[in-house]
Chains A and B, each alone.
Chain A
């Protein structure tokens, strides 16, 4: 009896709490978790030292600030990819191309790569007579992003007419060509564009210059300041937040609704007067924009862009974040992005070390990190089988599910070629569609 009553009381208290939470105005409910998370994230470098390090169960140690920068940048890329894959339903298997274009544009515009010229514009932390193009990294971020967006448009224009898996293959092709191009373009008719396998290095670091440093106390140059990693971390956080903000606003815009319409049913969207090509090209361009910005930033952070950074695995890795988080769901992608990039940067290695030290017998050690892409493969396959809507599904999608009438495997989510499309019937659909209606 007593146990029952306790349980009932506990339940009612919980219910009351939930009820009170529900009664709060909507903006408060939306923003409180965001603000709390943001505060935790922004102050992470300060309390990192106080966190236990050394032998934390399972994860060994918390990510260093340096690793956290990489985590944030990859998450930014995942949010950018989410525009293409999640909003517009275009499977992009070559997002690494945008990363590469961004990183190399950063390299070209802020390093001594082109010794033939000497052009300085707001650059910090280099001597006055340094040769090459040196533009302020803040400007370079925007330039690189714009140039990558242009690249996205150029790649998109001829290929976006294709549907579904053909588009996936074409993007994969670009994702293979561009890294090979940067690897080999060290003597195009004798002109060294990318410095081949050595990559472009060193790339300038961001900063605010001496005058702002003296008047406002802003760091003159990140690389030369004593807490460079923290500065890079906060900047990466700002870039991620700007990306998230833009993506949320875009989702609710006219363009964003057009993307979602195309994702849900391309034929119907076209019939409703949405210009398919233009809308899809915009998705590509905007996805590329964020990929380019993130690429340029991480090039500046690593002080270099190297061809070995860019391969198909990165594309799949980013796609895995989008799928795990839930296609189209920004917060889902952010959470999945942070988790997966952390696993990639040091998590898997740490977990492997911890397991080898504490669980596996010493003669049966397993290099967990070696199999990271196999693990991502397993994640992708399991998600597609059992939870295709992702860990944190998009609200719109969830509403559809709650309102009923759509099963979890319903084909309207990312369908490319429906049963109602002309020609689909003659060729035979892959094992029969669920009829909609």
Chain B
């Protein structure tokens, strides 16, 4: 209907949704990876994302002094370094949380670990608050907002393209890592059956740590991409984490392709809700719509779009 009425708006909004969806995908993958291996909703993941984003913003502004007037090579080199450092930072923070909090509770009931995750979320959020204070942080527009192409009123600028440009290779590398690398195989084995894989000589603790490192690294990349377009604050991660988690559930939690698919869909839903104001309720209701969707999925199809049926649902 909208496609026929105003095709320009429709495609513009579609592209915005795709861009946001890519960032959500990187965060959603973190949830889904951890859930796949520990059956734990890592509530703190969104806050690791925010902490890494804040760290990256101070890195860009105060350490590397990048701004829009820097030379192209400086920006590219600087951003590459920021990506790398943010990745390592996110990975270290995330696996530290696992090491400090979740590892001790390996044999505790699942609910105890879940409650601990909620607690860790608040702790990480308050660390962000203590270090970076309450203000929104942003970075200068390093990527130009000129259009890559502009066809009949449909614009696609470099900032949005940059997000895709980074996300796609990351997803390819991740998929290779999980499918083909030795550690990735160990990860999949552990998520299928922890005890059996331990018996087969897989170091379960190391594998779990690796999963958290991977999830944190993805969150780090996502956080820098988020910074390119939006402001970030200590509590940004909470809501974004919930959106990303919804995406992971929508796609089928534990399923990597599903997480990406779900994230893009959620990105689209959000963009259409906020972009087409004459048709949708608007940004005031985004949260309600996303969570309403989450509830509907969990009630009617808890295995998600691509997931397998699990005992949770029945």
Chain A bound to chain B: yes
Which residues on A are within 8 Å of B, measured CB to CB? 89, 91, 93, 158-159, 161-166, 168-170, 172-174, 176-177, 180-181, 183-184, 312, 316, 319, 323, 370-371, 373-381, 384-385, 388, 409, 411, 413-417, 421-424, 426-434
Q: B195 at interface (Cβ–Cβ under 8 A)?
A: yes
Closest to A317 in B: B122
What would be 19 A-B contacts, judged by CB atoms less than 8 Å apart? A93-B118, A159-B299, A165-B110, A165-B111, A166-B302, A170-B299, A177-B287, A177-B288, A371-B130, A377-B126, A380-B116, A380-B122, A384-B115, A388-B112, A416-B111, A417-B110, A427-B192, A429-B194, A430-B110
Q: Report B-chain residues with C-beta under 8 Å of the C-beta of A164.
A: 110-111, 114, 312
Tell me the B173-225 residues at the A interface (CB within 8 Å): 190-196, 198, 204, 208
Q: Determine which of A163, A316, A422, A424 lies in contact with B122 in the assembled complex, contact meaning CB atoms within 8 Å.
A: A316
Q: In the complex the two chains form, is B109's CB within 8 Å of A416's CB?
A: yes
Q: In the complex the two chains form, is A163's CB within 8 Å of B312's CB?
A: yes
Q: Is the interface of B mostly helix, strand, loop or mixed?
A: helix
Q: Report B-chain residues with C-beta under 8 Å of the C-beta of A377.
A: 118-123, 125-126
Q: In the complex the two chains form, is B126's CB within 8 Å of A319's CB?
A: no
Q: Determine which of A159, A380, A417, A430 lies in contact with B115 in the assembled complex, contact meaning CB atoms within 8 Å.
A: A380
Contact indicator per residue, chain B 281-301, by CB within 8 Å of chain A (1) or not (0): 000110110011011001100
Q: Report A-chain residues with C-beta under 8 Å of the C-beta of B242.
A: 172, 176
Closest to B38 in A: A430
Binds A, one of B100-108, B164-172, B256-264: B100-108
Write the nearest CB–CB distance from A389 to chain B, whole angstroms. 11
A75 to B260, CA, bound (A): 43
Q: B8 at interface (Cβ–Cβ under 8 A)?
A: no
A162 to B105, CA, bound (A): 23
A370 to B123, CA, bound (A): 12
Write the nearest CB–CB distance from B194 to chain A, whole angstroms. 5
Q: In the complex the two chains form, is B114's CB within 8 Å of A168's CB?
A: yes
Q: In the complex the two chains form, is A416's CB within 8 Å of B110's CB?
A: yes
**CB within 8 Å for A434 and B107 given contacts A163-B312, A385-B101, A423-B310:** yes
Closest to B120 in A: A381
Q: Determine which of A166, A371, A376, A415 lies in contact with B298 in the assembled complex, contact meaning CB atoms within 8 Å.
A: A166
Q: Report B-chain residues with C-beta under 8 Å of the C-beta of A376.
A: 119, 122
Closest 3 CB pairs of A and B: A374-B126, A377-B122, A380-B119
Closest to A371 in B: B126
Tell me the B87-146 residues at the A interface (CB within 8 Å): 101, 104-116, 118-123, 125-127, 129-130
Q: Report A-chain residues with C-beta under 8 Å of the C-beta of B122.
A: 316, 373-374, 376-377, 380
Tell me the B12-59 residues at the A interface (CB within 8 Å): 38-41
Q: Report B-chain residues with C-beta under 8 Å of the C-beta of A385.
A: 101, 104-105, 116
**CB within 8 Å for A431 and B106 given contacts A176-B242, A414-B111:** yes
Q: In the complex the two chains form, is B123's CB within 8 Å of A431's CB?
A: no
Most chain A CB within a 10 A radius of its CB, from B41, B107, B129, B196: B107
Q: B71 at interface (Cβ–Cβ under 8 A)?
A: no
Q: Report A-chain residues with C-beta under 8 Å of the C-beta of B38.
A: 430-431
Q: Determine which of B108, B130, B311, B313 lies in contact with A388 in the assembled complex, contact meaning CB atoms within 8 Å.
A: B108
**CB within 8 Å for A169 and B311 given contacts A176-B242, A316-B122:** no
Write the nearest CB–CB distance from A114 to chain B, whole angstroms. 22
A312 to B287, CA, bound (A): 13
Closest to B112 in A: A384
Q: Report B-chain residues with C-beta under 8 Å of the C-beta of A91.
A: 111, 114-115
Q: In the complex the two chains form, is A89's CB within 8 Å of B126's CB?
A: no
Q: Determine which of B112, B121, B288, B298 lies in contact with A181 in the assembled complex, contact meaning CB atoms within 8 Å.
A: B288
A48 to B32, CA, bound (A): 54
Q: In the complex the two chains form, is B116's CB within 8 Å of A373's CB?
A: no
Q: Report B-chain residues with C-beta under 8 Å of the C-beta of A316.
A: 118, 122
A378 to B126, CA, bound (A): 10
Q: Report B-chain residues with C-beta under 8 Å of the C-beta of A312.
A: 238
**CB within 8 Å for A384 and B105 given contacts A180-B285, A428-B194:** yes
Q: B245 at interface (Cβ–Cβ under 8 A)?
A: yes
Q: In the complex the two chains form, is B193's CB within 8 Å of A409's CB?
A: no
Write the nearest CB–CB distance from A393 to chain B, whole angstroms. 15
Q: In the complex the two chains form, is A428's CB within 8 Å of B193's CB?
A: yes
Closest to B113 in A: A430
Q: In the complex the two chains form, is A170's CB within 8 Å of B295's CB?
A: yes
**CB within 8 Å for A428 and B116 given contacts A316-B122, A415-B111:** no
Q: Determine which of A163, A169, A177, A381 lies in contact with B116 in the assembled complex, contact meaning CB atoms within 8 Å.
A: A381
Given contacts A163-B312, A427-B193, A430-B110, 6 further A-B contacts (CB under 8 A): A161-B314, A164-B312, A168-B41, A174-B291, A428-B194, A428-B195
Q: In the complex the two chains form, is B294's CB within 8 Å of A170's CB?
A: yes
Q: In the complex the two chains form, is B299's CB within 8 Å of A158's CB?
A: yes
A170 to B297, CA, bound (A): 10
Q: In the complex the two chains form, is A427's CB within 8 Å of B108's CB?
A: no
Q: In the complex the two chains form, is B108's CB within 8 Å of A384's CB?
A: yes
Write the nearest CB–CB distance from A110 to chain B, whole angstroms. 27
A296 to B284, CA, bound (A): 26
A89 to B111, CA, bound (A): 9
Q: In the complex the two chains form, is A374's CB within 8 Å of B127's CB?
A: yes
A89 to B291, CA, bound (A): 23
A426 to B118, CA, bound (A): 27
Q: In the complex the two chains form, is A169's CB within 8 Å of B294's CB?
A: yes
A164 to B125, CA, bound (A): 24
Q: In the complex the two chains form, is A411's CB within 8 Å of B194's CB?
A: no
Q: Report A-chain residues with C-beta under 8 Å of the C-beta of B302.
A: 162, 166
Q: In the complex the two chains form, is B114's CB within 8 Å of A177's CB?
A: no
Q: In the complex the two chains form, is A423's CB within 8 Å of B105's CB?
A: no
Q: In the complex the two chains form, is B245's CB within 8 Å of A373's CB?
A: no
Closest to A312 in B: B238
Q: Report A-chain residues with C-beta under 8 Å of the C-beta of B130.
A: 371, 374
Q: Report B-chain residues with C-beta under 8 Å of the C-beta of A415.
A: 109-111
Write the nearest CB–CB distance from A320 to chain B, whole angstroms. 8
